[in-house]
Amino acid sequence: MVAQAIDAFGHIDILVNNAAGNFICKAEDLSPNGWNAVIGIVLNGSFYCSRAVGRHMIARGKGGSIVSILANYAWTGSAGTIHSACAKAGVLAMTQTLAVEWAPHKIRVNAVAPGPIESPGAAQQLWSTQASIDAITDTVPLRRWGQPEDVANAVSYLVSPYASYVTGDVLTVDGGQWLKGGYGFLDLKI
């Protein structure tokens, strides 16, 4: 991936880790394969990409910016998503650790933590009924779901010069949902 990007563009200035793997499953019913699949995609994938791009940025000596996409339940938890919540919490810890380690190399490492975002792929996997959509909407103080552009705008800010003094931080984009405890108190009938 890194070699192909360098061949095409000459160097890498920005990495966005947008790894996602999730499905609703009670913790007691989650198989080791289900756990490992999500941890492999989200946590391991984010680390391997960050390490590969970070090595390039360090060797190049010009700095850069890495942004990982989390989920607001990385710190609130969420019924039925123990695998994803743990993986995203790991990416949060990775973000903060790399921010400290790579700051001397002028590499900023941040994250965006979306809440409910209108997305056809996620909707099919996670919110298959109008009742679950309505219940989740009721947990958002702004009483609406975010749009993909809301997340893209947050990432654009974090990789821009406007955020040149921001590293190791998480920008939460969830309409205030985390303030009400996230999804954790919902009876999702998992």
Q: What's the pLDDT at 185?
A: 42
Residue 187, pLDDT above cutoff 60: no
Q: Has residue 125 got a pLDDT over 80? A: no
Helices (H), 71-147: 73-76, 82-102, 120-126, 130-137
The 3-state DSSP class for residue 20 equals coil
How far is the C-alpha of 86 from the C-alpha of 91, rounded, in Å? 9
What does the block give as tokens for 177?
């949902």
Q: What confidence tens digit (pLDDT) does each residue in 16-60 have?
A: 999 888 888 999 999 999 999 999 999 999 999 999 999 999 999
Active site amino acids: 73
Q: Which amino acid is at 75?
A: W
pLDDT of 110 above 80: yes
Tokens read off for 104: 């001397």
pLDDT bin (cut points 50, 70, 90) of residue 79 is confident
Fold held by 23-174 = Rossmann fold (3.40.50)
Looking at the DSSP bridge assignments, the partners of residue 108 are 65
Predicted confidence at residue 183, as pLDDT, reads: 59
| SS3 track for 116-138 | CECCHHHHHHHCCCHHHHHHHHC
Above 90 in pLDDT, residue 189? no
Q: Name the residue with tokens 């995203």.
A: 88
Q: Please give the backbone phi and psi of residue 152, each rounded to the nearest 5 degrees, phi first.
A: -60, -40
Per-chain mean pLDDT for the chain: 91
Domain boundaries, the chain: 23-174
Question: Tens digits of per-residue pLDDT, 84-102?
Answer: 999 999 999 999 999 999 9
Task: Look at the alpha carbons of 150, 154, 159, 161 in this order and tell me if their dihedral is positive or negative.
Answer: positive
Is the pLDDT score of 188 beyond 60?
A: no
Reported confidence tier of residue 170, pLDDT bands at 50, 70, 90: very high
Q: Which helix (H) or strand (E) holds 156?
A: helix 148-159
**Largest interatomic CA distance in the chain:** 52
